[in-house]
Structure 1
């Protein structure tokens, strides 16, 4: 059985015990302190997990105009995944300690690379620890290079700034912004040098996809939320830099609402051109 959205701790345990081989990606990260992710990984990670750094492995180099976390080149990402041992058709599981905020980026990227069996660990490392399961403090030993090759994307084509700008006038699609409500409104914060959001966007804070236990809410609840926000329109997903927007993409997939387009550059790319319009307030 392949897992393509979420996998629970018991399901992951069973999969590991089966000996079928799972590629585990630890996506622990902290905005504003990129060195903390590797340190937290070293303090304890799921057995056999490889570290996936958001800045270095799950993004391409920013140039000041393409956002903080532009998409990596497909050839570079495929090569990195092979060095982690990924094989064609192998189950991959991404996790973090932040409700899937960073792991969802790895999930979206692997689907963009044409790899279907990839899931996010529901509840992440905290759920694993809560179940009384062990962690390791050393990285996995040398692995055999995998045979993964990029295939046709399993995601909708990403949107770019020109697509989003054109949509402001026509309004054919609904932009959903995954940042927290304060940042969306344009309250002063240390992350966004220009406050506000894309005109016409609606706020769907990625944290609202989770229940109090840090796991994803039921599919029916997610479907009701997104359906109300979209009002029959297709979705373009944005956030600060194209990362937590992937959390909304995952939630929509769980809800049975596939086909949302990611705007990878998101707000950090949008504001790199002062000619692009900005809106503040609740939206």
Structure 2
């Protein structure tokens, strides 16, 4: 299954008269953490033909509680109703896009795989690549279609704070550039380096990182234009993980379980299994306040 679609490839697929209407479903995932309504406004102004919209806060997350982070995983059955209304069946290829270097499209990519739907990809380069290619856009919102999405969450794909605590060895809270050889788990902090080091924290109440975590900023998966780096570049980036023997359990986190999915997409592409800590730093630090 191809995880990356280029804009011309996607245009060719959706315009192919031999493809059934619901064989590909496109989902617009544009969003802004600082302006939560902006993504939907952008979608209503212009989007890929036939694309539906899913909102990070309203659709791809469940309500925030005291613990669990700023973007808890959505209720599978609630999300399944929306996905079914988009015409998604087990045979449907879902292609997600955004305009934020996959920050939100990768969340949907990961969620669908977590729910048992492997036929999912992201649009490489996102909205910007589609526009730069001069491809058609629309304001028309597609109607509901008949579908049948049955969620089958895989608990092996996620961990919670108790799993993290159980896997941590007694280690001092220091900045690490490489994983500790022989550690039972490797925690990947996917946030910007200044947040990892605790020098800046614009969102959560406490700065810093989970003890022992190593920093792999999610933005490094793509170039400045939002295109995913070559497989060679990605393999080189993760080589310290693949070299560890015996293989540790690799767990990715970020601020709230969203941008860590970009790193999970990259790890998947190079064949390194990894799990998500959905609550991420916002869950971890909620126990420190």
Which residue of 2 is the match for residue 239 of structure 1?
A: 254
How far apart, in 2, do the equivalents of 1:28 and 1:239 lie? 19
Query: Does the CA contact (< 8 Å) of 1:89 and 1:116 recur in 2?
Result: no
Deviations 1:204-245 (A, max 9, x none): 111101123320001121122112256523310000000001
Q: Alpha-carbon deviation of 1:264?
A: 0.3
Which aligned segments of 4 or more residues in structure 1 are displaced greater than 3 angstroms? none
2:203 matched to which residue of 1?
191
Work out the CA distance in 1 between the residues paired with 2:76 and 2:214.
30
Q: Aligned equivalents of 1:96 and 1:128: distance in 2?
A: 11
SS at match of 1:247: helix
Q: What TM-score, normalized by structure 2, do the two folds share? A: 0.89
Gaps of 5+ in 2: 171-182
Equivalenced residue count is 270
Q: What is the aligned partner in structure 2 of residue 278 from structure 1?
A: none
Which residue of 1 is the match for residue 145 of structure 2? 144
8 Å contact kept, 2:39–2:55:
yes
Distance in 2 between the 1:93 and 1:105 partners?
12
TM-score by length of 1: 0.90
Q: CA 1:240–1:230 in 2, change beyond 3 Å: closer, same or farther?
A: farther
Any conservation in 2 of the 1:70–1:264 contact (CA below 8 Å)?
yes
Distance of aligned partners of 1:133 and 1:241 in 2 relative to their CA distance in 1, 3 Å threshold: same
In structure 1, stretches of 5+ residues that fail to align are 276-283
Deviations 1:153-190 (A, max 9, x none): 4x842010011112222731110011111111112332
The residue number in structure 1 matching 2:73 is 71
- Distance across 2 between alignment mates of 1:189 and 1:43: 32
Query: How big is the shift at 1:6?
Result: 1.0
- Mapped partners of 1:159, 1:189: distance in 2: 24
In the alignment, what sits opposite 1:266? Answer: 280
In structure 2, C-alpha distance between the alignment counterparts of 1:156 and 1:226, rounded to whole Å? 22
Q: Give yes or no for contact 1:176–1:202 (8 Å, CA) kept in 2.
A: yes
Corresponding position: 1:210 with 2:227: no
Whole-Å separation in 1 of the counterparts to 2:257 and 2:32: 15
Distance 1:248 1:227, change over 3 A: same
- Contact map agreement 2:253 2:260 (CA 8 A) in 1: yes
Whether the aligned pair in 1 keeps the contact of 2:256 and 2:283 (CA below 8 Å) is yes
Match of 1:8 in 2: 6
Summarize the alignment of residues 102-117 of structure 1 with structure 2, pairs less than 5 Å apart. Answer: 102-117=104-119
Alpha-carbon distance between aligned partners in 2 of 1:192 and 1:209, rounded to the nearest angstrom: 24
RMSD: 1.7
For 1:116 and 1:90, locate their aligned partners in 2 and report how far apart those are by CA, in whole Å. Answer: 10
Contact 2:87 2:145 in 1 (8 A): yes
Please state whether the residue corresponding to 1:272 is helix, strand or coil. helix
Distance 2:200 2:257 in 1: 20
Quick check: 1:242–1:264 contact (8 Å CA) kept in 2?
Answer: yes
Contact 1:7 1:122 in 2 (8 A): yes
Are the counterparts in 2 of residues 28 and 97 from structure 1 also a CA contact under 8 Å?
Answer: yes
* 8 Å Cα contact 1:68/1:241 also seen in 2: yes
Question: Structure 1 residue aligned with 2:25, among 23, 29, 34?
Answer: 23
Cα shift at 1:136: 1.1
